[in-house]
Structure 1
Amino acid sequence: MSAKLAAFLNEAPIADDRLSFEPIIKHGHQDLVQSIAFNDYGDRCATGSVDGKIRVFNRHKDGVWRHCDNWTAHGGEITELEWLPPTIYPNLLASLGIEGRFKLWAEDPYAAPGRRFSNAMGLNRAFSFWTQPASQGGTTQQQQQQQQQTTQQTTQQHGSRPGTSTPGGPHSHGVPPGQPQNNSSTPKPVFETRNQRSPYRSFSMKHVDSTRHTYLALVSGDGKLTVYENEQPENLTDYTMLDEVAISRIVPPAQRGEETTVKVQFDPNPEVCYSALRAGVPSDTLSLVTVAQDCVRIYRSRDVISQSLGVQTVTKGFYLAVEVPVGIHRGLVRDVAWAGGNIRGYDIIATACQDNMVRVFRIDTPVEMQTWYTKDDSDNEDPGSRGWSRREMAGYAEKARKQGVEVDEGRSAAIRAATKDVTTTTGGRRITGLPGQIRHTVTEVSRLEGHKTPVWRVGFDDDGVVLGSVGDEGQLIQWRMMPNGEWAKSSELGIVRVRMATG
């Protein structure tokens, strides 16, 4: 053993000629690949093509990507794909088509390869809930059996009928638990929704492991942001609308043939950065960045009181935390990305613009010290040596009231907002001084000019220190954050046109 170790130390190890990571060259699509998404572990990849088909690949221990499943998900091109965290069982894949339909696909781990996500009557049935309205005065067991037999006969003749919903709201295409299995191989998603006013153009999902809540943000072509919440991961069809916000400025609508763009993305960090917590942002706040034409905004949520039939409930409402000043982007913003790793104490976002520029912004939450918060000059004791007494708290609260500042006397932000909450009627959701609304600032850190053509995509790594961008010229440029906070070009990867592999 010692001889082998000595030989190894004296001689340099021979590098393995075979790469530990192989690219997906033979993707199998018969058309152009429009979207691609990796899971959190990086060992699963989903690709969506213009012909509406999704193909899933798994990376094995030898580094080779092998085909797992493929199915027709949409009637047209697939614009966006996203994996949900692997902590949710089963594995979920979300997709958005050019027709404006959002679909959620669940994987059946017991199905054979090639039918894991397209098992229309298998696993999806276990996660769909369907109820029949009871007749007046109740039903007997015999009547229930007759209704079930009638439903089965109708289903065998006409097939399953998708559920309906109110205009603009979500509706799921579930399968009744008592329905027999259909021989049709048409893939059915576990959840599907569309907007009847305007088609959806972008989406983002966020799952909170501590509360097991899943949030879905959808942006329609008319610039409306809609956020839904799912409190039960076992029921993938139960989504409740939290809020709806207009993310675009008041401008004339786009003319026929005029290009438009909308984007949305949740904050990928599991928690809010510590500087925002010090400024008063709640720890369970939802944060997202939106794009509408050249307008880039960041929204955060706060507790809002809603009253129905005399009962008050606490929900989440969004307010405009900060907006990138007008005039910085000299064209349409194609894409936006939110960096992870907010342990640095501030947030970072990047935008891909039509003016050939990649811009990086820094989001801060300054803590403003009020005059009523300072102690008297006669008190020379170290402020951190002891706590505040009841008498001192009452005195400072009285000083604050004289200066017209509202003081929290033990009430939560939701309760304080109950008496004067006008979030749902404020245009643009700008900060109006309501409890829970924290002032933010945005600063342009770097303006990167590596691309000579319009930029289409930007994305950060998990730590938020490497930024990638792709332009029309077919080059992938990587930017790295310097110690002073600015960004510089790190590497460049050129894309060579080759013959499409369809095998």
Structure 2
Amino acid sequence: MPPLPTSEDITGENSAAFDIIQHGHKDLVQAIAFNAYGDRCATGSVDGKIRVFNRHQDGIWRLCDNWKAHAGEILELQWFPPTIYPNLLSSLGIEGRFRLWAEDPSAAPGRRFSARDGNGKTVSELRSARYPYRSFSVKHDEVTRCTYVALLASDGHLTVYEGEEPETLTDYAKLDDFQACTKPSRGEETCFKVRFDPNPEPCYTALRAGVPTDALSLLVSGLTSVKIFRTRDTVTSSFGAATRGREFYLAIEIKEHSNLIRDVAWAPGNYRGYDMIATACQDGFVRVFRIDTPFSKDDGKTWSLSDIVNHRSDDNPISRTSNPRRQSQVPSGIRAEIDKSGMHGERTSADLPGQIHHTVKVLSKLSTHRSPVWRVDFDDDGQILGSVGDEGKLMCYRQLPDGSWAKSSELGMMKARMAAPPTNST
């Protein structure tokens, strides 16, 4: 029989596998986020507080800052890329306010993110005037230095902003605004999630099919439906001048769920030639899907860079239009707004220039939890998939050579019970 763990093993001082860290929150931890280097962790609690921990060279995690960030439960946290200075942390509270927290590197520990001025804590925020936000995602383009923020409200409405100054939300411009999911009925249990494609650009087969290199891709789940949106280039005429823009279109909708979807994830590493997404469902299943963009082998293109990459031309503002019949007819701004599918309802797929056909295939339907699944996510390489269910266990999966996924490991917390020493009987 192996020896029982000691107190030093439990606290992590002699543990070679993992450390158990006392987070210090006085309420349930609802959100957690690591930075890209894995040496900084932020936790958000039901009481509205955020705590940031730094991993030092001795391997010990120490508290960096702790502050009251929201009036209620913190739903989601996400770090901005470390290439942005100073470090930025984004958060979303149950009241529906999306906030940015900028670190002051010169401040003393404990006041890095919660520095105060005469008007209170310095913070930049966005909030909806109609329905509160329930999920968000942030993406930063290292080439253009633009930052994108997607906010999904409790009525299924999606708003995407873009800005060149990441830390100032007031300077962000609205890129698109539309109904992404079905509006729930009054009193209906809901769950909404939105995630940007974590890959720097679309996979090479999508580029071959006609997806622009700078296209934005969003994974959106609402109630029992999962949708993928991509951007297409648009050209409108305003007072005789052609203006180039972008808008999201529905690339594909997945209707494989009969119960509420709790979480979604987009796998990094689209070098495979296709995209993969995973869902966590209330019915106890983790589903993994493969997304393809079919292309014709007789399109006269090769795999050379000049053939598969669409280049913009400043001299020809409508050079990206795929239908030659429409190149001579640039729609007006009013006409373009009318043509937008889903202006007064959900945005649906339509036969418009720049929209690329997508297909979906179910790779795996995993039932290892046997209880409702709440969280799902991929590692940074898209090689490992993890999920957490009602039973409190972390399940990890790996992809098999045939493309399917199978359970590889399981992690659960156990409480060691110390038996009372036997008494000497006379």
How would you bin the TM-score normalised by the shorter chain?
Answer: 0.7 to 0.9
The 8 Å contact of residues 262 and 292 in structure 1, kept in 2 or not, is answered as: yes
Secondary structure of the residue aligned to 1:237 is helix
Counterpart in 2 of 1:322? Answer: 252
Counterpart in 2 of 1:51? Answer: 47
**C-alpha deviations, 1:93-140, integer Å up to 9, x for none?**
00000000100000000000001101133xxxxxxxxxxxxxxxxxxx
Which amino acid in the other structure matches residue 363 of structure 1? I
Which amino acid in the other structure matches residue 87 of structure 1? T
* TM-score calculated relative to the size of structure 1: 0.72
1:243 to 176, 193, 199: 176
Alignment of structure 1 residues 33-432 onto 2, 5 Å:
33-121=29-117, 182=118, 186-189=120-123, 191-233=124-166, 235-249=168-182, 253-256=184-187, 258-325=188-255, 328-369=256-297, 373=299, 411-413=319-321, 416=327, 418-419=330-331, 421=336, 425-427=340-342, 428-432=346-350
What CA distance in whole angstroms lies between the structure 2 residues aligned with 1:19 and 1:497? 16
What CA distance in whole angstroms lies between the structure 1 residues aligned with 2:411 and 2:156? 34
What CA distance in whole angstroms lies between the structure 2 residues aligned with 1:198 and 1:409? 37
Counterpart in 2 of 1:395? Answer: none
The 8 Å contact of residues 24 and 65 in structure 1, kept in 2 or not, is answered as: no
Distance 1:312-1:231 versus aligned 2 partners, 3 A rule: farther
Which stretch shows the higher mean deviation, 481-490 or 22-31? 22-31
Secondary structure of the residue aligned to 1:303 is strand
User: How many angstroms does 1:430 deviate by?
Assistant: 3.1
Structure 1 unpaired stretches of 5+: 1-16, 122-181, 376-382, 389-407, 499-503
Distance 1:97-1:357 versus aligned 2 partners, 3 A rule: same
What CA distance in whole angstroms lies between the structure 1 residues aligned with 2:351 and 2:297? 16
1:456 to 361, 374, 378: 374
Which amino acid in the other structure matches residue 117 of structure 1? F
**C-alpha deviations, 1:368-424, integer Å up to 9, x for none?**
356xx579xxxxxxx99xx99xxxxxxxxxxxxxxxxxxx99822399484385685
Secondary structure of the residue aligned to 1:318 is strand
What CA distance in whole angstroms lies between the structure 2 residues aligned with 1:21 and 1:57? 20
User: How many angstroms does 1:330 deviate by?
Assistant: 1.8
Secondary structure of the residue aligned to 1:278 is helix
User: How many angstroms does 1:24 deviate by?
Assistant: 5.0
Which stretch shows the higher mean deviation, 78-87 or 422-431? 422-431
The 8 Å contact of residues 317 and 423 in structure 1, kept in 2 or not, is answered as: no
**C-alpha deviations, 1:167-196, integer Å up to 9, x for none?**
xxxxxxxxxxxxxxx2x6x4231x211111
2:395 to 440, 455, 477: 477
Distance 1:488-1:114 versus aligned 2 partners, 3 A rule: same
Secondary structure of the residue aligned to 2:206 is helix
What CA distance in whole angstroms lies between the structure 2 residues aligned with 1:246 and 1:188? 32
Distance 1:337-1:409 versus aligned 2 partners, 3 A rule: closer
Secondary structure of the residue aligned to 2:31 is strand
* TM-score calculated relative to the size of structure 2: 0.84
What CA distance in whole angstroms lies between the structure 1 residues aligned with 2:28 and 2:230? 37
User: How many angstroms does 1:453 deviate by?
Assistant: 0.7
Number of positions where the alignment pairs a residue of Structure 1 with one of Structure 2 = 385
Distance 1:410-1:310 versus aligned 2 partners, 3 A rule: closer
User: How many angstroms does 1:21 deviate by?
Assistant: 7.5
Structure whose CA Rg is larger: 1
Which amino acid in the other structure matches residue 425 of structure 1? K
Distance 1:196-1:83 versus aligned 2 partners, 3 A rule: same
Which amino acid in the other structure matches residue 84 of structure 1? F
**C-alpha deviations, 1:145-186, integer Å up to 9, x for none?**
xxxxxxxxxxxxxxxxxxxxxxxxxxxxxxxxxxxxx2x6x4
User: How many angstroms does 1:26 deviate by?
Assistant: 1.5
- Structure with greater helix percent: 1
User: How many angstroms does 1:215 deviate by?
Assistant: 0.1
What CA distance in whole angstroms lies between the structure 2 residues aligned with 1:355 and 1:236? 38
What CA distance in whole angstroms lies between the structure 2 residues aligned with 1:68 and 1:235? 23
Structure 2 unpaired stretches of 5+: 1-12, 308-315, 417-426
Distance 1:411-1:308 versus aligned 2 partners, 3 A rule: closer
Which amino acid in the other structure matches residue 461 of structure 1? D
Query: Percent identity at matched positions?
Result: 59
The 8 Å contact of residues 49 and 67 in structure 2, kept in 1 or not, is answered as: yes
Secondary structure of the residue aligned to 1:446 is strand
What CA distance in whole angstroms lies between the structure 2 residues aligned with 1:462 and 1:447? 22
What CA distance in whole angstroms lies between the structure 1 residues aligned with 2:347 and 2:353? 13
Secondary structure of the residue aligned to 2:395 is strand
The 8 Å contact of residues 341 and 349 in structure 2, kept in 1 or not, is answered as: no
User: How many angstroms does 1:232 deviate by?
Assistant: 3.1
**C-alpha deviations, 1:181-232, integer Å up to 9, x for none?**
x2x6x4231x211111100000000000100000000000000010000023
User: How many angstroms does 1:452 deviate by?
Assistant: 1.1
User: How many angstroms does 1:495 deviate by?
Assistant: 2.6
Secondary structure of the residue aligned to 1:75 is coil
- Structure with greater strand percent: 2
The 8 Å contact of residues 53 and 74 in structure 1, kept in 2 or not, is answered as: yes
What CA distance in whole angstroms lies between the structure 2 residues aligned with 1:57 and 1:268? 24
What CA distance in whole angstroms lies between the structure 1 residues aligned with 2:341 and 2:261? 26
C-alpha RMSD over aligned residues: 2.7
Secondary structure of the residue aligned to 2:75 is strand
Which amino acid in the other structure matches residue 188 of structure 1? T
1:443 to 361, 370, 389: 361
Which amino acid in the other structure matches residue 408 of structure 2? S
